[in-house]
């Protein structure tokens, strides 16, 4: 992957762990989404504002490659890189790495498209600004 355009630090909370004491696989989607929303805000794109204006950004596909578990109390960083992958589709290439040792925990690509009022797909200027 290219050098990260955006990085946010996070910490695993106890309630995110399953019976084995590791972060439940579904929780990783929350980490990735939080980082994407923070990335948008860092570029002056407010997800809630987009929605209020009828620009609906939806995930169409998520590829998640788990490399190492996270445990309660782990500090980690999530990176985000945005790339336009087709006329209408954007891909958010993301990683999760342990802080301090830089060990790779996850690689992910999350694909999304924008719809105007849940109808017509288009690539809005707000998404172009992320590239």
Q: What is the pLDDT of residues 65-118, one digit of tens each?
A: 999 999 999 999 999 999 999 999 999 999 999 998 989 999 999 999 999 988
53-61 average pLDDT score:
96
Average pLDDT for the chain: 94
**pLDDT grade, residue 58 (50/70/90)?**
very high
Q: With CA atoms as reference, report the closest residue to 129 among 5, 2, 1.
A: 5
pLDDT above 90 coverage of the chain, percent: 89
- pLDDT attached to residue 3: 53
Write down the architecture of domain 6-126 according to CATH: Roll (3.10)
Q: d(Cα 38, Cα 43) in Å, to the nearest integer?
A: 9
pLDDT > 80? residue 2: no
Band (pLDDT 50/70/90 cuts) for residue 1 is: very low
CA 56 to chain centre: 16
Q: Could you please report the per-residue DSSP string of 64-79? A: EEE-S--BTT-EEEEE
Domain boundaries, given as residue ranges, for the chain: 6-126
Q: List residues with catalytic annotation.
A: 18
């Amino acid at each position: 992957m290219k050098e990260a355009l955006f990085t946010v630090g996070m910490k695993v909370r106890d309630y995110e762990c399953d019976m084995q004491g590791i972060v439940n696989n579904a929780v990783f989607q929350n980490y990735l989404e939080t980082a994407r929303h923070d990335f948008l805000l860092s570029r002056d794109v407010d997800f809630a504002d987009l929605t209020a204006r009828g620009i609906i950004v939806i995930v169409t596909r998520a590829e998640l490659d788990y490399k190492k578990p996270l445990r309660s109390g782990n500090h980690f960083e999530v990176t985000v890189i945005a790339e336009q992958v087709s006329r209408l589709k954007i891909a958010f290439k993301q990683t999760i790495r342990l802080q301090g040792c830089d060990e790779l925990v996850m690689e992910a690509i999350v694909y999304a498209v924008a719809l105007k009022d849940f109808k017509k797909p288009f690539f809005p200027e707000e998404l172009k600004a992320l590239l």
